[in-house]
Amino acid sequence: MQEAVASRTCDISLVVTDVVMPEMNRKELTERLRRVCPEVKALFISGYTGTTLEHRRMFEQDIDFMQKPFTSQEFSAKIREILGSK
């Protein structure tokens, strides 16, 4: 994964991924991405509720998170919010 990111010129603005991943956790992914592209933003999504994930200590309160299901309009609005677009 890091090699794929390293071959880019850090023109990656946003990564969207599920909170639950088979080979690494959210924190590891974020740290690896930011070593290569320090300004990259991440949006984490999950079918689990935020409360359930908090109890499992899957993430802190300060990450960008969306609970599934969501509409394409909600998804677009969240991306605009994260990237600072209007």
**Contacts for 76 with CB less than 8 Å, ≥ 6 apart:** none
Residue 51 has pLDDT above 70, yes or no: no
* Number of residues in the chain: 86
Q: What phi and psi values does residue 65 have, to the nearest 5 degrees?
A: -140, 140
Residue range 2-75 forms a domain whose CATH class is: alpha beta
The answer to whether residues 78 and 66 touch, using CB atoms and an 8 Å cutoff, is yes
How much is the mean pLDDT over the chain? Answer: 78
pLDDT for 63 equals 78
Q: How far apart are CA 49 and CA 73, in angstroms?
A: 20
More confident residue, 58 or 45: 45
More confident residue, 74 or 13: 74
Q: Where are the domains of the chain?
A: 2-75
Neighbouring CB atoms inside 10 A of 80's CB total 11
This prediction has a pTM of: 0.72
